[in-house]
Chains A and B, each alone.
Chain A
Amino acid sequence: GAGVSQSPSNKVTEKGKDVELRCDPISGHTALYWYRQSLGQGLEFLIYFQGNSAPDKSGLPSDRFSAERTGGSVSTLTIQRTQQEDSAVYLCASSSRQGAGEQYFGPGTRLTVT
């Protein structure tokens, strides 16, 4: 079946502009996660949605970052007033309540702030 999809695949923006990144999870997956991967680095947790529960926002690096998940499916990560240090690949993952909570990743959005 269809995997996790993300759009856009690449985004170049000027410092100070706002950006929106979109994630479509695997159909039926109730959990959705956002991670960030800087060049040559590991994956850093940002935010996690599970069903109708309050999201775990503990990984968001500043109040310029926010995310929402509408209707329990699609999620949007918004970065306001982008800075150069926001440049990274933003990865989305989803998981179901079955099994051990295996997370499957989307292809990511490469964000470049100039």
Chain B
Amino acid sequence: GENVEQHPSTLSVQEGDSAVIKCTYSDSASNYFPWYKQELGKRPQLIIDIRSNVGEKKDQRIAVTLNKTAKHFSLHITETQPEDSAVYFCAASTGFQKLVFGTGTRLLVSP
């Protein structure tokens, strides 16, 4: 079955810096890759996603890139702000199926 690995487990940046979180997946059939942000005690919130027919997608300060050949995808956050501090999870699926999640990255943005 699908296995998703996520790095780093923790990431500390200064406000205004960029942050990059990387994930790899094992199942070449996976074609849908969402990213979720989870604040302490809250539900996971979908922040951006990408399908395998697209190499890059951007939404304001957030972007996701996908390399199907290498089976890895990354989340890029530019101009980080303290409110970006949270745990971020990547996931993979074949679409309309269960999500297999990475182990999460705790991002801390210091003012």
Contacts and interface: CB of A to CB of B under 8 A. Distances in A.
Interface of A: 31, 33, 35, 41-45, 48, 50, 56, 58-59, 91, 95, 97, 100-108
A48 B44 contact: no
13 contacts: A42-B89, A42-B102, A45-B100, A59-B98, A91-B43, A100-B51, A100-B95, A102-B34, A102-B49, A103-B46, A104-B46, A107-B42, A108-B43
Given A42-B89, A42-B101, A42-B103, A95 B96 contact: yes
A91 B102 CA distance: 16
**Among all A-B residue pairs, the 4 with the closest Cβ atoms:** A101-B96, A45-B98, A105-B43, A43-B101
Nearest to A47: B98
A91 B43 CA distance: 8
A4 to B, nearest CB: 8
Contacts, number: 55
Contacts of B49: 100, 102
Interface string B31-62: 01010100000111110010100000000000
Contacts of A91: 43-44
Nearest to B106: A40
Given A42-B89, A100-B32, A105 B44 contact: yes
Nearest to B99: A103
